[in-house]
Amino acid sequence: MLMRYSQHIAQGFGIVYNIGDRPVDGGTDFLFMLLLAGVSKTGLSLEHSVQLIGIVSHLLTAWIVFLAVRFPIKGGSWLGLAAALAFSLGPGLYYVALYFGTPLFALFSALSWLFALMLIVPPVRHDSRLSACFALSCLLMSLTRPEGVFLSIFMVCSVISYRSWKSSRLVRLWFFWVFLILGGAYFLWRWHYFGYPLPNPFYKKGGGHFHLDALQASIENTITFVNAYLVIIFLGILTVGTRKRTMFCLMPITAFTCLWVLMSNEMNHLYRFQYAIFPIINMSWPFIVVGLINQEFVQKLWNRQIVKFSGVTLAVLFFCFFSLRLHRYFENEAHSLMFQDPNYTVARSLKRFADLNYTMAVSEGGVLPLYSGWRCTDMWGLNDIWITHHGGVTSDYLNRSRPELIMFHAPLHAERPLRFSVNEDWWNLGKPWCSMVQVASQYANIKRYELVACKLDHDQNHAYYYFIKRDLKYKTLISQQIQGALCSSGEKCE
């Protein structure tokens, strides 16, 4: 979806989902969206532009993790390399492969946390300059993703709690004025430009109530990111001399994890919603380790050669085992996502009809609209203000655009095709999704659309259903294009 917005920005149409429609903030990664539009203007394809931004962001973040451990934390080169390697073995490059803008958000998260560490580790020089850099970095993080505003607040609260209210006066002032003036100007502009203060997906996925299942998933995801470093955190809390720095590190991690109770967990592929705290974790556990090593009782033990040798050996084995285990875990998770999306081949085959100004109504407004170039009604509502603010798609609303093609993703009913009920168990898809599919299928039946293809998903339990208007001029040709694209891989296609 973001690539479609960036494409329209690069073409000079503004932040719109369909050319000629009113602006809509369906892509929440604002700064990434603008950067992608700018890079693609150089002549690179959208796909290569996304990957270039992602790879550069990932490498820079790993470098920031190393610098944080090497200098403000004073953990030495080896500990810095271990932290950077632990970060690199995470899911960052998988996000690049899946065309997510997540690595850019993690970059600014790491940069902000670097400045936060520099503000608390003595000796603190150039306090005003560091406070300004910290505030500006937090602002960039907030412009990249809206939840960056909350992560910024959690970070500044950590700095204040560590340094005390009085000694953090410059930090508070810089943060307040940067966000009030620059952040406030952006907020007022976007409210005026889009017509709503928050991004459209926040209204759709938030719903104004708590999502306990999303909170549970967020906690589990964070524990996966923290991994075996929970042992270090536990020791940091138990040891009086490191308790303060441990609580400093835990504040943004814990608060950001709990924040996701406000949003549904849909589309949280590879835990990307929680990934912003992954570089923070890999800059925090060395901070705690250095504090533990500097304790007097540890120093006495550390002077014994056998203790030092055993400790280093166990630490290396511990690090290698759990870092590789974490990498293998994300590799397995990513493998299930990296299948050929059947909608991609369909979209490429439909590109030849883009000049006819046809409209499609789809349940997933990413691949099909982007690569086909057709106008699109996003029935799920992430890119449609009316659907989001009216509780879902309706037959009357579909009748306004009278789409030439309807596609939705739903369970495969071999015995009762296209007889969907919101009361069925749809593998945790939720009633809103069931309701959307029910409206779309009923509309297709009432308006006598023809079901031209049904393609099984990779899990073999769901399918993509494609409907075409019966009286469409190029119905036969479009149907053949869809069927040929879906069956080109030799998999089951009905």
414 or 389: which leads in pLDDT? 389
- What band does 24 get if pLDDT is binned at 50, 70 and 90? very high
- pLDDT, residue 460, reads 65
- Judge whether 103 and 92 are in contact, CB under 8 Å: yes
Predicted local distance difference test score (pLDDT) of residue 492:
46
pLDDT value, residue 428: 56
Which positions ≥6 away from 105 have C-beta within 8 Å? 29, 32, 141, 144, 145, 148, 275, 276
| pLDDT tens by residue, 220-253 | 999 999 988 898 999 999 999 999 999 999 999 9
Write down the pLDDT at residue 361: 97
| 186 neighbors 240 (Cβ within 8 angstroms) | no
pLDDT digits (tens, 9 = 90+) for 329-356: 777 766 666 555 788 889 999 999 999 9
Residue 490 has pLDDT above 50, yes or no: no
> Regarding beta strands 405-411 and 359-362, do their DSSP bridges make them parallel or antiparallel, or are they unpaired?
parallel
Flag whether pLDDT at 491 surpasses 50: no
Helices and strands (DSSP H and E) totals, the chain: 23, 5
How would residue 150 be classed by pLDDT, with cut points 50, 70 and 90?
very high
Q: What single-letter amino acid sits at 283?
A: M
**pLDDT value of position 487:** 79
Range 481-494 average pLDDT: 69
Query: For position 123, what pLDDT does the model report?
Result: 80
- The answer on pLDDT for 212 being more than 90 is yes
Do 71 and 65 meet the contact criterion of CB atoms below 8 Å apart? no
Q: What is the mean pLDDT of residues 481-492?
A: 72
Kindly tell me if the per-residue pLDDT of 378 is higher than 50: yes
pLDDT digits (tens, 9 = 90+) for 412-421: 765 555 666 6
Give the pLDDT of residue 456: 80
Confidence of residue 120 (pLDDT cuts 50, 70, 90): very high
**pLDDT at residue 70 in the model:** 94
Q: Classify the C-alpha dihedral 71-72-73-74 as positive or negative.
A: positive
Q: How far apart are CA 154 and CA 66, in angstroms?
A: 23
Per-residue pLDDT tens over the stretch 430-474: 678 888 998 999 999 999 999 999 888 766 678 899 999 999 999
229/244 Cα distance (integer angstroms): 17
Q: What pLDDT is stored for residue 18 in this prediction?
A: 96
pLDDT of 57 reads: 98
What mean pLDDT comes out for the span 289-304? 80
Q: How confident is the model at residue 357 (pLDDT cuts 50, 70, 90)?
A: very high
Model-level pTM?
Answer: 0.92
User: Average pLDDT, stretch 42-59?
Assistant: 95
CA distances in angstroms from 301 to 78, 293, 298, 305, 311, listed in the order given: 21, 10, 5, 9, 10
As a whole number of angstroms, the distance between CA 83 and CA 89 comes to 10
- Report the b/e string of 229-251 with b at 16+ CB within 10 A: beebbeebeebeebeebbebbbb
Pairwise pLDDT comparison (492 vs 293), residue with the higher score: 293
